[in-house]
């Protein structure tokens, strides 16, 4: 036990004199200060020891946050690209609908993509992976749909080429004076079989190719006068006769609606007109089954 106070005397030449009085609080105060400092140091040491762990946890949390933000940006970009792709496919569908004369789905609804709710922190990784897998599957499906539609477009192009090749265009602008089939002969009594149609037009009127093809004959044929014959695909030929002149030559490729001649009155004819025939495998058939009225 410490005494409450302690008097310290100094013995010298001048006798005994009191140097100072040492009291108990003078010992307890430094001890208390040292104890306080030691406690604070121990607490600070524990804080310093755990600071690195806390800093590491904080860095890990920040890393996860950055990764989630990056994933969110990638998802948003992926959804934007999918929206554009869906819009492009919708527009393509609309064009196909117009070509096929069929109502197309509303491009606005097909191209619309709803932004996904971003996954939370707790189950971000699992939901992110599932959403990425879903988007990958959706991208693949849309790619397959687009490939199928492109194949359909190629089929439509083939159909367009078929349409252009078939003789569906009226070769001259006039009115029909004699149709295909049996008729009374214009050269006297009795009847005959008319292999084509006669189109009444003024002398020198333009004559157009009824379909795309290649000129196989351009010259003079007895009874027909000046004549042009065009071979088309699918075994079809068209004949343009009684011409005044022709502007094409054998072997020339012609387009549907291209000017090929002028109407006339050459050959065995009763007046200025265009005699027009369609032949299938060399046999005359009724041109009206191809002509678009």
Beta-strand pair 283-285/274-280: antiparallel
Which of these ranges, 112-116, 138-142, 214-218, has the smallest mean pLDDT? 112-116
In this predicted model, what pLDDT tens digit does every residue of 98-135 receive, in sequence order? Answer: 555 555 444 444 444 444 444 444 555 666 677 677 66
Mean pLDDT, the chain, rounded, equals 77
Q: What is the pLDDT of residues 146-193, one digit of tens each?
A: 776 677 667 666 677 777 788 989 999 998 999 998 877 766 666 788
Angle at the Cα of 201 (from 195 to 205), degrees rounded to 5?
Answer: 110
DSSP string, 108-149: HHHH--PPPPPP-STTHHHHHHHHHHHHHHHHHHHHHHHHHH
pLDDT of residue 40: 77
CB 168 within 8 A of CB 212: no
Indicate the pTM of the whole model.
Answer: 0.50
């Amino acid at each position: 036990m410490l005494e409450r106070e302690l008097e310290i005397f100094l013995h010298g030449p001048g006798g005994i004199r009191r140097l100072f009085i040492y009291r108990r609080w003078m010992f307890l105060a430094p001890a208390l200060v040292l104890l306080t400092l030691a406690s604070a140091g121990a607490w600070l040491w524990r804080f310093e020891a755990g600071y690195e762990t806390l800093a590491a946890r904080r860095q890990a949390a920040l890393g996860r946050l950055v990764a989630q933000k990056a994933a969110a940006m990638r998802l948003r970009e992926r959804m934007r690209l999918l929206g554009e792709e869906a819009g492009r496919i919708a527009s393509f569908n609309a064009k196909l609908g117009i070509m096929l004369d069929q109502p197309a789905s509303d491009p606005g609804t097909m191209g619309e993509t709803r932004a996904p709710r971003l996954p939370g922190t707790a189950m971000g990784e699992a939901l992110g992976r599932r959403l990425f897998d879903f988007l990958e599957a959706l991208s693949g499906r849309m790619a397959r749909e687009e490939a199928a539609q492109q194949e359909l477009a190629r089929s439509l192009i083939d159909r367009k080429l078929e349409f252009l090749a078939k003789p569906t265009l009226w070769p001259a602008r006039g009115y029909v004076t004699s149709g295909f089939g049996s008729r009374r002969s214009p050269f006297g009594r009795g009847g005959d079989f008319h292999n084509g149609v006669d189109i009444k037009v003024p002398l020198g009127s333009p004559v157009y190719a009824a379909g795309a093809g290649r000129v196989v004959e351009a010259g003079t044929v007895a009874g027909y006068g000046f004549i042009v014959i065009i071979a088309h695909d699918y075994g079809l030929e068209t004949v343009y006769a009684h011409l005044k002149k022709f502007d094409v030559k054998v072997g020339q490729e012609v387009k549907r609606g291209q000017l090929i001649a002028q109407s006339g009155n050459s050959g065995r004819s009763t007046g200025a007109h265009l005699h027009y025939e369609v032949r299938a495998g060399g046999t005359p058939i009724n041109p009206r089954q191809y002509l678009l009225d």
